[in-house]
Structure 1
């Protein structure tokens, strides 16, 4: 879930005074698009800016927003001028990640899995064996060496000498 910061007096902005409700809604939808997609610079492609909301005439809305200085045309898109006032600060994302990890450890602890617990805070965690190893190979394979044929040096039987079953003749070897 994402969120957007709006000042209590956001609707009182003088730039919004001459913009109709549909245009204001389109501007808010563009801000939320940036918040949802971590566009802290406020840059939006022209195609994304046009379909940010259900505005009946998005080209008109964009030109009105640009005329009052809320957005500016840059390259093949637009930039929301005051985006820093609306996107969550970086500490919010970090806090969300810490909270998510804390909750994961808490749920595991309640379920009896103490492998994620901190030994300083959970007496059971000190007794849990931590034998987890990292993935040492991208393709571990079967764990067997060789081609699958018998080793001639050891004198073992060659794979080609094994009896084969002929289809249609049950139990008879060729």
Structure 2
């Protein structure tokens, strides 16, 4: 699942794209840029592909209907890596709710968090701060959906085969 958000800096508006693994809530790809062109989304996809491996069966990439996600280059790149695009309805944030939630966490916990004393000076400053936040999100942030464990721990437990999905998320 993917989406874009924006953050003001002293140098102008910065844009951030996150790619989220819906199964584990892990942020598997992301990119900060001073523009919101398709290239930034493709960079985030490449980070996710590199981190997750070249090809997974039945892979879908869900997004809203923004121009970056409806572009020919975006669709072609997803086809090259064996992913199927899934685009939500226009003007409806509910079908992209997980991505919107991650954007909300990002803005609440980092951008407007208690440690912030004003906007970042540059996009590069925001990018460095985002790197730290993504690491924290994936390795330390507790997620209620995952049984109050971080995404990395959830994935580790699942792939170690010690437990089932139902046990991890306490489905009865």
TM over 0.5: no
Higher relative contact order (CA closer than 8 Å, sequence separation 6+): 2
Give 1 or 2 for the bigger CA radius of gyration.
Answer: 1
The TM-score by the shorter chain falls in which range? under 0.3
